[in-house]
Structure 1
Amino acid sequence: MLRRLNINRLILAIILTVLSLVIGITGFMVIEHYGPIDAFYMTVTTFATVGFGEVQPFSQAGRLFVSFYILYNLVVVAYLVSVLSAFIFDGELRKIYKMIRTDQEIKRFSGHVIVCGFGRNGRRAYQELRANGARVVVIESDQGLMKSITEGRTGEDYDEDGVAGGKIFTVFGDATTDLVLKQAGVERASALITSLPKDADNVFVALSARALNPRLKIIARASLKTSESKLIFAGADSVVMPDEIGGSHMAKLIVRPEVIRFLDLISGLSPDKLRLEEMSYEQLRRDLRGLTIRELDVRSITGATIIGLRQASGELLVSPPVDYAPAPGDVLLVLGSEDQIQSFEVHFRQL
């Protein structure tokens, strides 16, 4: 917002300067009957306060006009100098250039994910998405927060892709407004995560995003249970309640600690993390389609394990029968280490 304000100040300064030139030229031509060239010359010398002298002696009306014109120009020049100084010495021109370049890059994005809010939840979602190769655009209103993150003052470390130290594609503004959502490419995005602090804001984001892109997958954060139904009604596909999940997680660490430790392996919260991957029937190599799970022999080839299968009908099969042959619309759920999953991708995914 601050950068937009600075751009508006620059635009205003340019408008006032042009208006001053128009007033001067018109005044000298009408009051003193100067030709266009003489009127332009007198306007520039008066505006620049160089005072090379009059083309011809002024009338009483001309002197009165020039007096007020000089007073007006003193204000305009002072404002113009202050704005230009800020842009030159504070690096605003460079910042505006970077912002315009980022906007142009985002306009070329398609099928990306938008994350609204870069607090703890939004930041974690961003890291997970980037780690899985997704292209992400962040919407954040706090420029200071983004600056502190990219400069490494928060202890977070981001790379060249935005996972640790480099460029994070960011749109600064209020995510509840259509203009900001459009700047982030919501009409071309595949999914949106809204993790703003206030539930009401998340409801508004879901409502606006759904109207702009009916095919968009929307995941929303909620603090209150009563907000869940409102978010679903507003257009969210799924609602996540971090506080409720956290409390449940802590309780299960007492009653089912080994189950939770296993889930931590899958979620990446443990150092020796496992990876849970999905592969649709359409992504399976053509020569492997029609084979049963036994014939695919995923475990022997890669070390990974098929732990589930979602059928096209929506039914979820846990530990599907080995004689079951995946059909169009089915999705395989495969669990393994990073190396095992990569081996699975190499051997079974259609290139």
Structure 2
Amino acid sequence: MRESLALKMRRFTISLVIFILIVLIGTLGYTMLEDWSLLESLFFTLVTLSTVGYNLPESITSGTQMFTIILILSGITVVVYSLSTLTSFIIEGEMKNALEARKRMKKINNMKNHYIVVGAGKTGFFVCQNMIKEKKDFILLDKSEEKIHQFIQEINEEITYIVGDAKNENALLDAGIERANSVILTLPSDVDNLFAALTVKSIAPDINIISKVNDPESVKKLSYAGINKIVLESEISGNRLAYMATRPNIVSFLETIIHTPEKDLQLEEVKIPENSWIADKTLKEIALPDKVDLIVIAVRKKDNKSIFNPKASTKIEKDDVIIVLGEDSKIMKLKEIINKEDEDYEVKNQ
């Protein structure tokens, strides 16, 4: 996209500069040769270039006639090309597309900690749908502009996108890879996901990469490429089908929480910041259920070990992640409480 936009803007700029330059040369030339005013010289230059056919002044010198011939010969071809380029740029929508692309790039440049979804296919559709539902900032990256527009029509939402190949460093830089939170690879080919992951890691070695995989034999190869989490589609589908058959009520409950847009309950993970007042306190001391009426399902420690159904004596430390179940409004309140730095917050709010 970067090269395409630059090429369009370059053609537009060159055409405009050539046209202005010829008009300027013609105007100054007639001013010097015939001692006309700038307005008269500009008028005669435009008449000459447009080949409207006004009669030449009777007192015109042979030098001016020669200058006019050169202006006509050099100007007609150049000006016709310039005008046709400008007309094409405007009529064919290239100007609109370029302005829209510039607007998208401005928005992307202001994004931080966002997600990059690679691939405008079926899997990418569901990923983007969930990102929209969760109100997360994300960018869709695919090399087919036609496929992206079709994708946007299907999802029926305005989304930020980049037209480019994920195996191309420029496309990833356009998507703000150096400021992104995670990259989600949903390309249909395991090989494409592999090369995309290698390109991502060459630019941002520490970024989190999540990839789908079709062939179980490709799992190890993708792991070697530095992908943090790999989702085997056949395994996910098989487990889901089995659970729907053997534990339908559990599946129904989880789907209600995760997939229903107007759900009352939702699962959420909240990271404990370093300066939070609840750091180094036990769940009993914090008393989250009393403050926000939420259920603490688990605590994910810094060493990636999880404590399920934590006891009141479980200590919460900075950078821990607590997984809670509750209403959206109460989860928002929880985030506000956790981000408080004042150690006397509990006393002040009793």
Q: When the two structures are superposed, what TM-score results if normalisation uses the length of structure 2?
A: 0.74
Q: Give, in whole Å, the separation in 1 of the partners of 2:340 and 2:93.
A: 49
Q: Alpha-carbon deviations, 1:167-192, whole Å to 9, x = none?
A: 42222222221111111111222222
Offset at residue 318 of structure 1 (A): 1.2
Question: Is 1:291 the counterpart of 2:281 in the alignment?
Answer: yes
Contact 1:283 1:349 in 2 (8 A): no
Residue in 2 that maps onto 1:233: 224
From the superposition, tell whether residues 269 and 225 of structure 1 become closer, same or farther in structure 2 (CA, over 3 Å). farther
Instruction: Please list the CA deviations of residues 242-301 of structure 1 after superposition, one character each: whole Å capped at 9, or x if unmatched.
Output: 343123212221122122223323422586463222233436841x34432233333344
- Give the whole-Å Cα distance in 1 for the aligned partners of 2:207 and 2:178: 8
Residue pair 2:142, 2:164 contacting (<8 A) in 1 also:
yes
Counterpart for residue 311 of structure 1:
301
Residue in 1 aligned with 2:194? Answer: 203
Deviations 1:151-209 (A, max 9, x none): xx42x343xxxxxxxx4222222222111111111122222222222222222221111
Q: 1:20 to 1:230 in 2, by over 3 A?
A: farther
String of CA shifts for 1:90-131, please: whole Å, max 9, x gaps. 332232122223223322322222222233322332333344
**Corresponding residue of 2:236:** 245
Q: Which residue of 1 aligns with 2:137?
A: 135
CA RMSD of superposed structures (Å): 3.9
Q: Does 1:219 align with 2:221?
A: no
Query: 2:169 matched to which residue of 1?
Result: 178
Aligned to 1:332: 322
1: distance between equivalents of 2:234 and 2:78? 54
Which AA in structure 2 matches 1:324? T
**What is the 5 A alignment of 1:150-161?**
150=152, 153-154=153-154, 156-158=155-157
Residue 118 (1) aligns with residue 120 (2): yes
**Partner of residue 321, structure 1:** 311
Within-5 A mapping of 1:183-194: 183-194=174-185
- The answer (yes or no) to whether the contact 2:144–2:163 under 8 Å persists in 1 is yes
Contact 2:282 2:313 in 1 (8 A): yes
2:103 alignment partner in structure 1: 101
> Does the 8 A contact of 2:181 with 2:207 survive in 1?
yes
Is residue 256 of structure 1 aligned with residue 247 of structure 2? yes
Q: Which amino acid aligns with 2:312?
A: V
3-state SS of 1:218 partner: strand
One-letter code aligned to 1:123: F
Query: Quick one: which amino acid aligns to residue 126 of structure 1?
Result: C
Q: Report the alpha carbon displacement of residue 214 of structure 1 after superposing the two structures with TM.
A: 1.9
Report the secondary structure of 2:192's partner residue: helix
Provide the C-alpha distance between the structure 1 equivalents of 2:235 and 2:84, rounded to a whole number of angstroms. 52
Distance of 1:222 and 1:330 partners within structure 2: 30
- Indicate if the aligned counterparts of 1:305 and 1:335 stay in contact, CA closer than 8 A: yes
Q: Is the 8 A contact 1:290 1:327 kept in 2?
A: yes
Please state whether the residue corresponding to 1:221 is helix, strand or coil.
strand
Q: TM-score, normalised by structure 1?
A: 0.74
**Other structure's SS at 1:176 match:** coil
Matched, 1:274 2:265: yes
Q: Which amino acid aligns with 1:330?
A: D
Q: Partners in 2 of 1:226 and 1:269 — Cα distance?
A: 34
* Structure 2 CA distance for partners of 1:195 and 1:326, relative to 1, 3 Å: same
Paired residues, what number?
A: 325
Q: Structure 2: how far apart are the matches of 1:203 and 1:243?
A: 18
Q: Which amino acid aligns with 1:86?
A: S
Identity of aligned residues (%): 25
Q: 1:285 to 1:188 in 2, by over 3 A?
A: closer
Single out whichever of 176-185 and 277-286 deviates more from structure 2: 277-286
CA deviation map 1:298-347 (0-9, x unaligned) = 33443321111122332211112222222344322112232442343344
CA shift digits 1:42-94 (9 cap, x unpaired): 99987655687798769xxx99xx79x97786654444333222222233223
| 1:350 counterpart SS class | coil
- 8 Å CA contact 1:175–1:205 kept in 2: the answer is yes
1:20 Cα deviation (Å)?
8.8
